Amino acid sequence: MSLALSPIVAGTWRMAGWGWSPQERLRWIEGCLDLGITSFDHADIYGGYTVETLFGEALALAPALRRRMQIVSKCGIRLPSPARLGNVIKHYDTSAAHVHASVDHSLRALRTDHLDLLLIHRPDALMDADELAATFDTLRAAGKVLNFGVSNFSCSQLALLHRRCPLVTNQIELSPLHLDALHDGTLDQCQDLGLRPMVWSPLVGGRIFTSEDAAAQRVREALQTLEKELGVGWVTLLMAWVMRHPSRPHPVMGTHRLDMAREAMAATQLRLDAQQWTQLWRAGAGRDVP
């Protein structure tokens, strides 16, 4: 089944820290939808296993909004938590039993009957690819999950699973301060297979604006130059930098501020040329291209 995510995806991982009422969370959801941000990125572990419930409480106030959005969630990380007393240490689990249980919990928490996309959150050294592919088939047949992907997988890890069950994305880290995916084959593989990647932390959790390390300072200087040249703000420039890659990434932006979300969406109208894009690459890398 094909999946169409919005150009920018709303990340929810900080929602538990916003201190909002269900009505305030609903207004944020509606504000995102009005901007054209229709995809919402979750994980079972976000907020100490609370964020999906917080989102579901808000969505229950206007359940018709579910038809206007795509809900993404992730599973496979097990954290010690009062909400999961059986988790003694942090570990990964892609067993059929855990994935089925995680999906069922997410559906209850989010107040929905299906996920548009389920991602395996981290590579699991004990992943049985045949078992996991069969689990995906069962979830799809039951109508609980429509599409599947992975997050933070290497090329070989993705290929192992993709050969057994077609995947639609790999959610990876990418920014001018984190360039690995551009050069380790990750984005080459996405382009080759026609998988549009999702990109987490395109703004480096805000560190790109505040950090005093040398690379962040160089990136800010490059952003200042491009801001004067193009007349757009830093959020727009950074999103446009990510989206310029031919694999056509979907940046995931974890902000509660709708003004920043609006700036992010402005990147859909901006295409950096190769020299402008390379200015930010060079600033992050601290050197010229080879």
Q: Would you tell me how many other CB atoms lie within 10 Å of the CB of residue 281?
A: 18
Q: How far apart are CA 112 and CA 152, in angstroms?
A: 26
Q: Is 92 a catalytic residue?
A: no
- At residue 62, the 3 state secondary structure works out as coil
Q: Residue with structure tokens 């192992």?
A: 160
Cβ contacts of 129 within 8 Å, gap of 6 or more: 160, 161, 163, 164
Burial 108-117 (b: 16+ CB within 10 A, else e): ebbbbebbbb
Q: How far is CA 194 from CA 33, 178, 181, 245, in A?
A: 26, 23, 16, 13
Do 46 and 73 form a contact (C-beta atoms < 8 A)? Answer: no
Q: How far apart are CA 143 and CA 140, in angstroms?
A: 5
Both tokens of 143, joined, read 């109508």
Q: How far apart are CA 6 and CA 265, in angstroms?
A: 10
Both tokens of 53, joined, read 């419930």
Cβ contacts of 232 within 8 Å, gap of 6 or more: 240, 266, 270
- Which is the catalytic residue, given 13, 40, 46, 281? 46
One-letter identity of residue 181: A
Catalytic residues: 46
